[in-house]
Structure 1
């Protein structure tokens, strides 16, 4: 495919429905890496192997409260007016054993958790007794009849030896940790935290520490994505920034794949001249045609539109670009001027001069650093396969995904709002799946809410609207936030959820019931609210 044909192909991308795109991502995310962690670190992780009871539990009949271990038959006639008087022959604390059996007419003082001595079949609570003396020896008066088994936890009541109490993929809660400790699991087999490479593309990007320069912006996406990765249990590995050059980006992705389980890129997925990720992902299509790529994945627009077919002259080509750009306007607002190497060098020099030496190594290297990338090719490996390169959604339509060298690559928009939405819809699910969650558990958690105000939309694709969620009188409300365009960040901190506005030209009316994807801590529950 020559450069012109590949450029044309970028405008003939077929939009896959969000649910279908999510299915493809979850199928490609296969949890494999496991590790053994100390018990105290196991909470919040997912089991890699089944765990079972190593003994009966409780391992012996034990007292459920402080009182006296007795033979129930000795108390059959006891009442407050005519208590049964029993001679106390021993005292048993938790962790100790009685030195004598409970014979007829005797009792043993026992503490909560203590092993019930042989001969006793009930424990009478302390409040139902009174101290007494018989021939100068300690005794107890029992004021009510005891039933056999009263206040005794029999051996194996909760668990029999060998009973499984945790399955592979099960999320370990504090209660699981207590059971693991009870049964002697000092170390626990769990799925490893996914190592997630975060790579930003774009010559317009500056380090966060750098002063702004004309036409340049700071790379805020990398830190945001890293924070989101950590929030859902992954280990973020920041790979810095690379320019809009296929060779450099391909090599950076190859380096990231060598040390990580999944790669997330931001930027370069739209249809501009410098959108390098779109070019790289399209190169995968050289191995399999677009029709083959989506044979098992129904697309929203199965047939190319008349505008997509018009690639004859340069003018017509430009016209077709405009059509596609109109479709992806929400996801492409920043121009990408190519930076001069000396500009970056000057910026980085200024930054390093202000950073204490002990922190200097944390500053991301310039994409135009003199240290070579040693690029080998401007394409992704031939054994790669494209999952999708456009999703039927707003914002974030150019969001793409592929499997490269057996690992998942998710390419998110460079616009912060679209990047955020793309992560929540696809990347979070992939990370949870790689952490050991089932495909169903990894899906975004949804609830229904009543819409505050109305929402109009022009795009026919499904829309994901940032919203504040609150409850009044037992009803969950979703209030759309302002500054909701893909390039806008102001509403991101306040977003509790994403309202799903169905595909079509009609939005949603005030008071209508809408589906909402729960974000952050709200989205961790395995049950819908």
Structure 2
């Protein structure tokens, strides 16, 4: 079933798009590849990852102090001996563990993060001891002094096996499931994987997203526009949004307003990309060629007209199966209006979830987070369409609508943090009102 002529609400169009992505036979995450864990940051796991060894891999001290045998100290405590004096027999430092097992009546100097020597089962904090040197006893071997520590009565009362020690595997057990498929990898996740032996991981390939900007009035960035011309900025805007969503943009350049040029660009996208996002040429003017050319190629529309401001002509559908990267299924196409605000808003609503789904993320990660915000200034609405107002968030989370909201104004797409949803039929909303908003950044 298509929605070619009816004007859908944003929620209806979103539900339709999400249902397409969810259904059996619908678009699935792309192929997977093995990459080094550093290169996996920003990617999505395609397989579960397990620990290849425990963390910590040996019992570690969490204090600077002395590793002891608690049975020595407990015996002394039971006999009422306080303070207790122990001979310092060895040292264990981070990266330099003690080699020998702790002998009765001795302790080992130990630093934070160092391996607890064999035979020791507790650590006494340095502040609960007093380090002294005494002459060696006759017949004790080499002449000189012995280094001993004297434990305080407080330390003796609190001593117990395991005190101030991180046991082996207390952080991560050997073979434990660390991260499941569908997890987006950030720095913390990458550190966890690398620290447990996962030096390479399987991730989904990034969706390759072709960007098609059409219009004879467009000139490339760096060129001064002439009369009736504008600098082509939408491709750069979309490329940034695509990267942030997890895709890999493929810029096709500005395409002339001719059926031949538009068709060639679409067919190039079908050969090299996983998704086509077009900007411009999707309205109903004589020079709006995107939809007619798509239909010549067998495009199936899923929706065409939206009760959305800005972005009413936004069109979404699928090309039939063909060659290139889509021999068995058709390539998804999202055609956006060419005005900058329309491009930005419609991408956030529909382009982002397409890319996130193809990236392998779970459904609840496809859409921008939403929350209710209080307006700190008035905003204009629309009689028939839902208006997504660009607004800046203040330190208290209140939303101040930008002064300029025209879809063709570049000023209206800079310096904002949220898209506030003004319901259809509300011509004006006042400061203090609470409305739903999509949060782009905080």
Shorter-chain TM-score: which interval? Answer: 0.7 to 0.9
Corresponding residue number in structure 1 for 2:310: 395
Q: Trace 1:11-50 onto structure 2 (pairs within 5 A).
A: 13-26=5-18, 27-28=20-21, 29-50=27-48
How far apart, in 2, do the equivalents of 1:102 and 1:222 lie?
Answer: 68
Q: Compute the displacement of 1:38 (Å).
A: 2.1
Deviation at 1:267, TM superposition (A): 0.7
1:409 to 303, 320, 333: 333
Q: Which residue of 1 aligns with 2:68?
A: 70
Matches within 5 A, 1:114-513: 114-132=114-132, 133=134, 135=137, 136-143=145-152, 144-145=155-156, 146-281=159-294, 283=295, 379-380=296-297, 382=298, 384-404=299-319, 405=321, 406-472=330-396, 476-513=397-434
Does structure 2 retain, via aligned residues, the 8 Å contact 1:195–1:234?
Answer: yes
Q: Is the 8 A contact 1:89 1:100 kept in 2?
A: no
Provide the rounded CA distance (Å) in 2 between the counterparts of 1:206 and 1:255. Answer: 21
What is the deviation of 1:456? 4.0
Query: Aligned pairs, how many?
Result: 411
Whole-angstrom CA distance in 2 between matches of 1:441 and 1:128: 50
Structure 1: gaps (5+ residues)? 1-8, 284-378, 523-529
Taking the aligned partners of 1:121 and 1:158, their CA distance within structure 2 comes to 18
For 2:377 and 2:64, how far apart are their aligned partners in 1? Answer: 60
Secondary structure at the counterpart of residue 293 of structure 2 = helix
The answer on whether the counterparts of 1:390 and 1:399 sit within 8 Å (CA) in structure 2 is yes
What secondary structure does 1:160 align onto?
A: coil
2:308 touches 2:387 (CA, 8 Å); kept in 1? yes
Shift of 1:420: 1.3
Single out whichever of 252-261 and 41-50 deviates more from structure 2.
41-50
- Cα offset for 1:385? 2.9
Hey, what does 2:84 align to over in structure 1?
A: 84
In the TM superposition, residue 468 of structure 1 has moved relative to its aligned partner by 1.6
Give the Å deviation of 1:480: 1.5
| Corresponding position of 1:106 | 106
After alignment, is 193-202 or 429-438 more displaced? 429-438
Q: Is the 8 A contact 2:377 2:399 kept in 1?
A: no
Mapped contact 2:30–2:206 kept (Cα < 8 A): no
Aligned equivalents of 2:411 and 2:94: distance in 1?
59
Maintained 8 Å contact 1:92/1:109? yes
Within 2, Cα distance between the matches of 1:213 and 1:100?
Answer: 82
**1:263-292 Cα deviation digits (max 9, x unpaired):** 1111111111221123234x2xxxxxxxxx
Over the aligned positions, Cα root-mean-square deviation in angstroms equals: 2.5
Misfit runs of 4+, over 6 Å: none
Measure, in 2, the Cα distance between the counterparts of 1:255 and 1:502. Answer: 39
CA contact (8 A) 1:198 1:225 kept: yes
8 A Cα contact 2:53 2:197, kept in partner = no
Deviation at 1:37, TM superposition (A): 2.4
Alignment correspondent of 2:59: 61
Question: Contact (CA 8 Å) 1:71, 1:104: kept in 2 or not?
Answer: yes
Question: Structure 1 residues 97 and 427 mapped into 2: Cα distance closer, same or farther (>3 Å)?
Answer: same
Whether the aligned pair in 2 keeps the contact of 1:78 and 1:142 (CA below 8 Å) is no
Q: Which residue of 2 aligns with 1:293?
A: none
Q: Secondary structure at the match of 2:43?
A: coil
Decide whether the 8 Å contact of 1:269 with 1:411 is kept in 2: yes
Deviation string, structure 1 residues 234-254 (Cα, Å, up to 9, x no partner): 222110122233343122111
TM superposition score normalised by structure 2: 0.86
CA distance 1:94–1:468, shift in 2 (3 Å): closer
Contact kept? 2:34, 2:203, Cα under 8 Å: yes
In the alignment, the residues of structure 2 paired with residue 402 and residue 437 of structure 1 have an alpha-carbon distance, to the nearest angstrom, of: 21
Q: Which range moves more in the overlay, 258-267 or 445-454?
A: 445-454
Say which structure is richer in helix. Answer: 1
